[in-house]
């Protein structure tokens, strides 16, 4: 019974071992090359003695337990063959090493850098950086560029056990006590994974032996999981390649829509956004001019000894009409605008002699709907009659 041999010999995919313990579907071997879940890396998949391995985990003392999908037909003392799933392990080795390369890239562009942990899933990998640097779009692009550059540079990856005291003295070694718990236990040595000239980290996972084995890396995005932390997510392998194709497709579509090419895309999009903002502002000005002209055209009627201006508007919502009505009432005692729409509305601005709220109440009592307001301004909506009927009632 011992720790997994996977971190030391990550390329072993098949091995023979002697069964040391069987407890239902949980099996312990005298030695194993299966990697137990830990330190952000998921458990290996595979087959043991002809039975699928569902999960691999470490007990507190480091003993590796294989949880099988069915009852084993072997017992203590039998020799069994273990086969580690090659695709998944290879993916984990590449993804795991990529996380170290990414951290090494962070060393080159972030201030006050600390290691906040990482996690591998089947689709993506995340690394948490502790840094005071704001990780903006430009930083993401630079991280991705540096990572792929380090992959291309084919840097050697190696691992060794060194005394903890020596590791702590070498300031360049990244530690995370949370994810590396277990690395320090039972001994005064720590396993340090080095990427030649690029990164050094205390880590108990499985890694490739040269960065070129990682292949393409695609940064997916960033988020903030907590105070002072920036989480960067990325993909390796097939999902990185697919993601890159999707991004490129979007960029081509955007360039085609803007009548430009990829090189001119940023500038064309900025120009288009600025032009739209200007047009929206012009449109708003023109709409308010049109609305004001409509309100100024309202019919003047005498009602209960007061001067009322009444009329209908269409193409504007109640809030737009409300703001304009307050300004357009001018010399009249009361201004009533009835909005033509699927659910007609009424807006009332008053000098106060006829309370605006009372006028809205009178209209909604007669035609249904609801609303309210104070003496100088009120509005109602959901009237159950068309605007001309409401106007005829008011001018009666
Ligand atoms: Zn590692």
Distance 152 CA to ligand 1 centre (A): 19
Distance 186 CA to ligand 1 centre (A): 20
Would 231 be classed as within a structural domain? yes
Domain that holds residue 301: 289-395
pLDDT of residue 254: 96
Residues of the chain by 3-state class (helix, strand, coil), percent to 5 = 35, 30, 35
pLDDT of residue 116: 87
295 and 242 in one domain?
A: no
Please say which residue of 84, 108, 125 terminates a domain. Answer: 84
Distance 146 CA to ligand 1 centre (A): 18
Distance 203 CA to ligand 1 centre (A): 5
| Beta sheet of 370-373, edge-to-edge order | 299-303, 306-314, 334-340, 345-350, 377-381, 370-373
Distance 193 CA to ligand 1 centre (A): 7
Which letter does DSSP use for residue 375 in this model?
S
26 touches 67 (CB < 8 A): yes
211 and 106 in one domain?
A: yes
Please say which residue of 61, 84, 107 terminates a domain. Answer: 84
Contacts of residue 292, defined as CB under 8 A and 6 or more positions apart, other chains included, come to 324, 327, 328
Which letter does DSSP use for residue 259 in this model?
T
Residue 207 CA to residue 227 CA, distance in Å, equals 30
Distance 241 CA to ligand 1 centre (A): 23
Distance 277 CA to ligand 1 centre (A): 49
Distance 207 CA to ligand 1 centre (A): 6
For the chain, the domain total comes to: 3
Q: What CATH number corresponds to the domain at position 108? A: 3.30.980.10
Considering just the CA atoms, what is the radius of gyration of the chain in Å? 36
What Cα–Cα distance (Å) separates residue 38 from each residue in 28, 59, 118, 224, 248?
A: 17, 11, 11, 23, 35
Using a cut of 0.75, tell me whether the model's pTM lies above it. yes
Question: 367 — phi, psi (to 5°)?
Answer: -115, 0
Distance 200 CA to ligand 1 centre (A): 9
Contacts of residue 88, defined as CB under 8 A and 6 or more positions apart, other chains included, come to 44, 45, 122
Q: What CATH number corresponds to the domain at position 323? A: 3.10.310.40
Distance 126 CA to ligand 1 centre (A): 13
232 touches 133 (CB < 8 A): no
| DSSP of 308-341 | EEEEEEESS-HHHHHHHHHHH-TTSSEEEEEEES
Distance 204 CA to ligand 1 centre (A): 6
Which letter does DSSP use for residue 44 in this model?
P
What Cα–Cα distance (Å) separates residue 371 from each residue in 228, 362, 365, 390?
A: 49, 11, 11, 15
214 and 103 in one domain?
A: yes
Would 273 be classed as within a structural domain? no
pLDDT of residue 343: 83
218 and 113 in one domain?
A: yes
94 and 77 in one domain?
A: no
248 and 99 in one domain?
A: yes
What Cα–Cα distance (Å) separates residue 140 from each residue in 78, 135, 143?
A: 52, 7, 5
Residue 137 CA to residue 219 CA, distance in Å, equals 11
Distance 10 CA to ligand 1 centre (A): 12
380 and 306 in one domain?
A: yes
Distance 245 CA to ligand 1 centre (A): 28
176 and 239 in one domain?
A: yes
CB neighbours (10 Å) of residue 273?
10
Distance 393 CA to ligand 1 centre (A): 80
Distance 192 CA to ligand 1 centre (A): 9
Distance 93 CA to ligand 1 centre (A): 8
Per-10-residue mean pLDDT, the chain, length 396: 86 98 97 95 97 96 95 96 97 97 95 89 94 92 97 97 85 65 62 95 95 97 91 95 95 96 94 96 94 93 91 92 90 93 91 93 94 94 92 87
Residues near ion ligand 1 (CB < 5 Å) are 96, 203, 205
Would 134 be classed as within a structural domain? yes
Distance 180 CA to ligand 1 centre (A): 10
Would 120 be classed as within a structural domain? yes
295 and 189 in one domain?
A: no
Residue 76 CA to residue 22 CA, distance in Å, equals 7
242 and 97 in one domain?
A: yes
Distance 229 CA to ligand 1 centre (A): 20
Distance 79 CA to ligand 1 centre (A): 31
Would 360 be classed as within a structural domain? yes
Please say which residue of 57, 84, 111 terminates a domain. Answer: 84
Q: What CATH number corresponds to the domain at position 64? A: 2.40.30.130
Distance 8 CA to ligand 1 centre (A): 12
347 and 239 in one domain?
A: no
Question: Helix or strand or coil: residue 28?
Answer: strand
356 touches 378 (CB < 8 A): yes
Distance 47 CA to ligand 1 centre (A): 24
Distance 189 CA to ligand 1 centre (A): 16
Residue 176 CA to residue 182 CA, distance in Å, equals 11
Distance 28 CA to ligand 1 centre (A): 25
124 and 76 in one domain?
A: no
Would 4 be classed as within a structural domain? no
Distance 110 CA to ligand 1 centre (A): 20
């Amino acid at each position: 019974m011992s720790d997994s041999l996977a971190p030391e010999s990550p390329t072993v995919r098949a091995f023979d071992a002697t069964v040391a313990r069987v407890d239902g579907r949980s099996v312990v071997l005298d030695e194993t090359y299966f990697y137990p879940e830990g330190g952000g890396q998921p458990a290996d998949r595979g087959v043991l003695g002809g039975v699928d391995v569902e999960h691999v985990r470490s007990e507190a003392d480091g003993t590796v337990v294989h949880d099988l999908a069915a009852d084993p037909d072997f017992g203590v003392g039998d020799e069994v063959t273990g086969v580690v799933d090659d695709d998944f392990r290879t993916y984990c080795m590449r993804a795991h090493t990529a996380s170290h390369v990414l951290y090494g890239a962070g060393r080159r562009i972030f201030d006050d850098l600390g290691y906040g942990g990482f996690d591998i899933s089947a689709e993506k990998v995340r690394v948490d950086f502790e840094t005071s640097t704001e990780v903006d779009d430009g930083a993401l692009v630079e991280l991705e560029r540096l990572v792929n550059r380090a992959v291309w540079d084919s840097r050697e990856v190696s691992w060794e056990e060194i005394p903890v005291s020596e590791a702590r003295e070498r300031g360049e070694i990244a530690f995370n006590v949370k994810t590396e718990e277990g690395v320090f236990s039972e001994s005064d040595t720590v396993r340090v994974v080095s990427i030649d000239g690029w990164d050094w980290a205390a880590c108990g996972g499985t890694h490739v032996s040269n960065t070129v084995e990682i292949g393409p890396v695609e940064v997916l995005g960033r988020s903030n999981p907590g105070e002072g932390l920036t989480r960067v997510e990325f993909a390796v392998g097939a999902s990185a390649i697919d993601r890159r194709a999707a991004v490129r497709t979007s960029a081509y579509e955007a360039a085609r829509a803007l009548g430009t090419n990829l090189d001119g895309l940023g500038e064309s999009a900025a120009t288009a956004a600025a032009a739209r903002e200007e047009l929206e502002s012009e449109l708003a000005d023109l709409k308010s001019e049109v609305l004001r002209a409509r309100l100024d055209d309202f019919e003047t009627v005498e009602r209960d000894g007061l001067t009322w201006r009444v009329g209908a508007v269409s193409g504007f919502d109640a809030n737009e009409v409300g703001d304009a009505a307050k300004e357009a009432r001018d010399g009249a005692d009361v201004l009533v605008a009835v909005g033509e729409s699927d659910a007609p509305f009424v807006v009332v601005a008053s000098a106060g002699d006829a309370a605006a709220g009372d006028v809205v109440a009178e209209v909604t009592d007669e035609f249904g709907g609801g609303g309210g307001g104070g003496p100088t301004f009120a509005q109602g909506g959901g009237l159950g009659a068309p605007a001309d009927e409401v106007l005829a009632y008011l001018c009666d």
